[in-house]
Amino acid sequence: MWKLAGLAIALAAVLPAQTPDPAKLIAELEAENTAYLRLLSDWGKLVVYGSDNAELKPPKPGENRVVFFGDDIFEKWPEFFPGKPYLNRGIEHQATPQMLVRFRQDVIALKPKVVVIMGGANDFAGFAGPATEGTVTENIETMVELAKLHGIKVVLASVTPICDCFQVLSARRPPGKILGLNGWLKGYAKKSGAIYADFYAVLGQGRNMRQELTIDGLIPNAAGYAAMAPVAEKAIAAALALP
């Protein structure tokens, strides 16, 4: 605690016009420190859905179980397909290497017919350390290969657009990198026999997310998720129809 207080006071003295008051800065530093401690104690965040998975019954005969596997965009999806045998296994701030760590627990063990994979934006933001498009694509390739090995059809979801409408997000998630990764995802889906779900197309306008479809420039609002739902359903139906 005294180290954080000392750091806050030192920063306030050096940059008095650019920093908040020391008490607020201490609170922000403590919150960030707590987040890092949690990350170190369960890097893949296996504990998040561990209990839910343990209580989940095997799919019924003929059930088209689907796992939505990804990051913030899936985790925060409200009114998540009520009445559908769809499981939400999204985790906020998660990057693709962490997703790969929990792929067996949160996808394969649940025995879905289809997995919808979304990842990459948090890699670019650096939440799990430095990343390049190459490291992201390798992680996604491995997840697809694991799914196919276990007879699970794959939907590869585009990374959703961002905008600097409410805060600056493009510094950590450059739109050019998002567009580049989406181009690769679309091509790899065709190459690997997966289905591509283009959420970017219904949320974006040019290189940015449409402001009326987001709560903060990153997460869609209710209207944004409503636009995404039919794209997901169409992609899942196409995946289920694959031989």
Which top CATH class is 47-240?
alpha beta
| Cα–Cα distance for residue pair 131/122, rounded to 1 Å | 9
Bridge partners (DSSP) of residue 70 are 90
| Cα–Cα distance for residue pair 229/243, rounded to 1 Å | 24
Average predicted confidence (pLDDT) for the chain: 90
Q: What is the predicted pLDDT for the residue at 158?
A: 98
Q: What is the predicted pLDDT for the residue at 8?
A: 47
How many other CB atoms are there within 10 angstroms of residue 50's CB atom? 14
Q: What is the predicted pLDDT for the residue at 23?
A: 80
Q: What is the predicted pLDDT for the residue at 22?
A: 78
Is it the case that residue 10 has pLDDT exceeding 50?
no
List pLDDT tens digits, range 66-89.
999 999 999 999 999 999 999 999
Q: Domains of the chain: which residue ranges?
A: 2-41, 47-240
Q: What is the predicted pLDDT for the residue at 36?
A: 59
Q: Mean pLDDT throughout 189-203?
A: 98
Q: What is the predicted pLDDT for the residue at 42?
A: 73
List pLDDT tens digits, range 134-177.
999 999 999 999 999 999 999 999 999 999 999 999 999 999 99
Angle between helices 133-149 and 175-192 (to 10 degrees): 30
- The model carries a pTM of 0.84
